[in-house]
A and B are shown apart, each in its own frame.
Chain A
């Protein structure tokens, strides 16, 4: 059973993150005469939703700590990487004949199994690595006046800007795979709870 608070949290994060990726693209890839949406609006949205995203991340940490939901990730994580490698091998080279009565599931099914394991990895990666890094690098950019004046002879904000960009890029990739794999694993559990 997926608790209601988690489902609400999840879909709020999904909306926030999608808008953050789109506005992030507008802020970085506009030209002097063209922007996908009003640049000032993109900037405001990116700041406000970025703060909301960071706050909700903290809410998630507290709530999964209090409710003990974090144990689910502990369970999922156990041996996850070696299972991914093993399943990857099945997809590439087929399941060893020995011990399965000679029946080998079709490769497409094996790949579905692999992707569901990848989904577990991505979910954990999103809360353990992506979200905190996005929040931290974003926070520095929110207060550029505290960044050093210069780093390596250039205005001191750039390392944080680049770091934020890279984490955001990984975030966009995460979103792509996570949403795609969701179409395999199904949305039901994240909507109805089971």
Chain B
């Protein structure tokens, strides 16, 4: 098992040992060993709570205690499972190192799981969703959220097939939970196929793509390669090879075949994000989803000197558009070569000079010919 909590909190976690397994056992039958371990754990928590060293630590420990109540059952390797009866996936445990490393990692469980979770079994639960908090109100957070324009994001999202197709269904807590940052995509394809076959009974929400426990904004990931993996994960979770969701041609559920019209489809699929073509390219962050061939907004949106790749996938790379060794947008070239975006300044200048000189010679000689004929 991975370490459950890091840093200061790790001190308090020495007894957590097999707690995740135990919590799973608790959900089926309560074994006596488990009851004993839980009781011992409760005692340790009380002891830890009685020994605060200073105020900040005390506050931290209070948070820790609050979380512990939940984690007693919900900690461990993330287990995105499909409920056989309901055909929805249940994300019942949390991978703590991943959670703490993610953007919501400092929050308390109850901040979002706000109602009905204090008692077990949980009843009449309510979980806050993304738009319940975002855009955030406090000055500093509001500033950070402003760039995203959540109202627009919501408007765009609600016009996509993802939303309209499942609009009739009930909104359930937290979507199908697509997994951790950088997790290998596709673990859920089989599950999703099943869900599709039985008829979707869950409305599509932000959380389907932005798993709130492990979500990390691209601004915090920065490295284009990691952003690529992170952002393609949710798409591939459902649209990977072998899935039956909307790969256009159900007879050929194959990503490469679906993109065969692209030159070098495999390189495009490996080197760019789905959303770099499948959302409108004008804003930095877009949530619309032009359908089918409309996704193709012109190759030159990327294959150009002012390539949108620089403004989108590479936007957290320092000076991505800088010229190095004469090459424009040199940052892109470290990962490959983008025709049209990686022009070479000296070569360009040489081309302008040579062609203009050539034209001058031709025009001059042509003029001379005309002049000579007139003189005759």
Binding site for B on A (CB under 8 A): 27-35, 38-40, 43-44, 47, 106, 108, 111, 115, 144-145, 153-158, 161-162, 165-166, 169, 172-173, 176-177, 180, 184
Partner of B263, one of A34, A35, A47, A176: A47
Known contacts A108-B372, A154-B334, A176-B359; can you find 13 more A-B pairs with CB under 8 A?
A31-B306, A32-B281, A38-B298, A40-B296, A108-B369, A144-B264, A144-B267, A158-B337, A161-B337, A161-B342, A165-B344, A165-B351, A173-B354
Partner of B304, one of A32, A108, A158: A32
B298 x A35 contact (CB < 8 A): yes
Partner of A32, one of B307, B335, B344: B307
Question: Which of B59-67, B138-146, B360-368 lies at the binding interface?
Answer: B360-368
Interface size class of B (residues with CB under 8 A): 35 or more
Residues of chain A within 8 A of B301, CB atoms compared:
32
Query: Using an 8 Å CB-CB cutoff, how does the interface string of B321-365 with A read, 1 for contact, 0 for none?
Result: 000000100100111110110111001001100110011011001
Take A111-B365, A153-B334, A177-B362 as given contacts and tell me if A31 and B304 are in contact as well, using a CB distance cutoff of 8 Å.
yes
Asked if B22 is at the interface of the complex by the 8 Å CB criterion, the answer is no
B299 x A173 contact (CB < 8 A): no
Take A158-B337, A162-B347 as given contacts and tell me if A177 and B358 are in contact as well, using a CB distance cutoff of 8 Å.
yes
Take A32-B308, A158-B337 as given contacts and tell me if A169 and B354 are in contact as well, using a CB distance cutoff of 8 Å.
yes
Residues of chain A within 8 A of B302, CB atoms compared:
32
Residues of chain B within 8 A of A108, CB atoms compared:
368-369, 372
- Please, how many angstroms separate the alpha-carbon atoms of A43 and B298 in the complex? 12
B337 x A173 contact (CB < 8 A): no
- Please, how many angstroms separate the alpha-carbon atoms of A169 and B343 in the complex? 14
The chain B residue sitting closest to A141, CB to CB, is B339
Residues of chain A within 8 A of B361, CB atoms compared:
177
Residues of chain B within 8 A of A115, CB atoms compared:
365
- Please, how many angstroms separate the alpha-carbon atoms of A29 and B306 in the complex? 11
Residues of chain A within 8 A of B266, CB atoms compared:
145
Residue among B263, B337, B351, B366 having the largest count of chain A Cβ atoms under 10 Å: B337
Take A31-B306, A106-B372, A176-B359 as given contacts and tell me if A39 and B336 are in contact as well, using a CB distance cutoff of 8 Å.
no
Residues of chain A within 8 A of B130, CB atoms compared:
none
Query: Using an 8 Å CB-CB cutoff, how does the interface string of B239-268 with A read, 1 for contact, 0 for none?
Result: 000000000000000000000000110110
Residues of chain B within 8 A of A172, CB atoms compared:
355
Partner of A166, one of B299, B300, B333, B347: B347
Residues of chain A within 8 A of B366, CB atoms compared:
180
30 contacts between A and B (CB under 8 A): A28-B340, A30-B300, A30-B304, A32-B301, A35-B298, A38-B298, A39-B298, A39-B299, A39-B300, A40-B296, A108-B368, A108-B369, A108-B372, A111-B365, A111-B368, A115-B365, A144-B264, A154-B330, A156-B337, A158-B327, A158-B333, A162-B344, A165-B347, A166-B347, A172-B355, A173-B355, A176-B358, A177-B362, A180-B362, A180-B366
Binding site for A on B (CB under 8 A): 263-264, 266-267, 281, 296, 298-308, 327, 330, 333-337, 339-340, 342-344, 347, 350-351, 354-355, 358-359, 361-362, 365-366, 368-369, 372
Prevailing SS type, chain A contact patch: helix
Residues of chain B within 8 A of A30, CB atoms compared:
300, 303-304, 340
B334 x A43 contact (CB < 8 A): no
Partner of A145, one of B267, B333, B334, B339: B267
- Please, how many angstroms separate the alpha-carbon atoms of A157 and B347 in the complex? 16
Closest chain-B Cβ to A184's Cβ sits at a distance in Å of 8
A43 x B354 contact (CB < 8 A): no
- Please, how many angstroms separate the alpha-carbon atoms of A166 and B302 in the complex? 23
Residues of chain B within 8 A of A106, CB atoms compared:
372
B327 x A154 contact (CB < 8 A): yes
B336 x A157 contact (CB < 8 A): yes
Residues of chain A within 8 A of B347, CB atoms compared:
162, 165-166, 169
Take A32-B306, A144-B267 as given contacts and tell me if A27 and B362 are in contact as well, using a CB distance cutoff of 8 Å.
no
- Please, how many angstroms separate the alpha-carbon atoms of A21 and B369 in the complex? 28
Residue among B267, B300, B335, B350 having the largest count of chain A Cβ atoms under 10 Å: B300
